[in-house]
Structure 1
Amino acid sequence: MRAAYLNLALSMTLVGLSVPASKVIVSHVPPLVAAEMRFALVAVLLAPLALRGGAAAFPRNGRDWTSLILLSLFGMVLFNLFLLYGLRETSAVAAGIITSTIPAMTALGAALILRERIGAGSAAAIALAVVGMVALNLRPGGGGGPDDSLVGNALVFGAVVSEGLYGVFARQLGGRIPPLALTCLANVLAAAMMAPGALATLGGFDPAAVPGWVWLLFVGSGLTGGLLAVVLWMRGIAHVPANRAGLFTGLIPAAGVLAAVLFLGEAFTLAHAAGLLCVLFGIAMGTGALRLPKRFTPG
């Protein structure tokens, strides 16, 4: 069990570190071009392992293909579009905190689209996520810190909504596609969808002008956040109940915020702290680690 917990912890830490890394990358590479290259990189590296099962690795009917396409559109294309452009307008600290509301948004999306019941814990998680977003935007005209902006925070929240819908469509597939195959196919479809936008924004971009260390960061974050994190998560969740595994998503903002403060020199304000605490409490309540007193629960 300890090995499973370690896998989950490392996975979410890598995902969290990818947020400040992306902020650095998009300051040198057009966001759509960066996303396109990352999709292609992950797809190529995963293909030999993911598709060795032959026909069993592909969707079996039109409904599964539709879910896969929507999963790729929202969870890959729109998520990266909103996140990368949002990171140009707001701090990696704020972005890390906002993206940690994804579990609450997934629960809300599942309730609206799949008609899943929202329990008291999930409802509290959604409410606290909203409070956390308000806290991040308390400063008039900006957000929680000097590098934040309302527009940037709104774009990152668009990424959260997109990732929440990704979770919904992943549930619709119901495990009918192996996880590695699902990740590979989603990246292939995302690369195809993103290609026109990437080509349109390619004009004037000179790869040779990008410092070598930025390219190393790009490859490293793509391999760790887009590939290794998936493998580690799949290994860990095979041995840990889903509600307990969800606790480890709290490491996403923790890792992202810490890296942004230490390596990017970003400020960590009282509004950031309030937003982060609300989000983490929401995650704990939504996954059952922190329960409401019985007198506050329905029935």
Structure 2
Amino acid sequence: MGHGICDTYTKSANINVPTNRAESLYAESMKLYGKISPKLADLRGVGVTCSKLKSRMRKDVVSAVQQMFGMTKVDEKEPKKNEKSNKIIKNQEEKDDDDDEENMQEEVVAPPPTVFSSNQEPNIQKVPHPKDIKPGIEVTVPGILKLSEIQIRRALKKLDGDQKKIFSEKLEHFLKKEPTKEGVVDLHSHLKSFLNAGKLSTFSMILHNFEELCIDSKKSHVDWFPAFYIIFEELKLQSKELLQFPIDKMQKRVPKPREVSKETKKTQNERRVPQEVVVFETTR
């Protein structure tokens, strides 16, 4: 209420429940009117604005405002005094509604703006064919990507076979010497590394080759035969923990008798004589 200094707290009121009752609007308007100070700035244009009301409610709003300023009394049975003013306001509202509807139709029916004028044709460029496009940078594909899957498998198989052959030759040369503690540990660590890496075929081949070399006394030292079974039993336990099955099942090995020459038999017979005999006492 009022067109003077803006004071939202004292010059506005909100009704929590939507209503079209003239008595409610009249009461709220009189409360605001009582708060206005008698200054020229506030009394210059005293008016009431009721927002968010439908058109059918505006008749009661006008009656409430007129009653507030003592212009008339609200009487639904005798509306003759306010009939002319209400008719003018109603005609104005209908005119505003018609204008809003026409504006809405114009916005919907209006054709979209064209980018090109009627006399000007659009300049359309032809997209070049892929064969006409020349690459700015020539791409060189690595040779390994040009190989087929079979060629890659053959290359890996050949590389694996070469590694096995080299390791077998080194193993044969290594087993001709008398075994030492460091040598046994080193050989065991090599075999264990193949087992941990999952190279079971390589591990099985080297272990089988190791066994054949230990059996043949011409290709290995005689003391490598018991050393082999010490390493084998240790790897058997480790493979059971790692792979959940022992390596003897994977290998399907068949124990072979050791080929012993006459000179080796003589040496073994000499070494079979125990240097120290340990006798355990039995208790009853």
Q: TM-score, normalised by structure 1?
A: 0.20
Normalising to structure 2: TM-score of the pair?
Answer: 0.21
Structure (1/2) with the larger helix percentage: 1
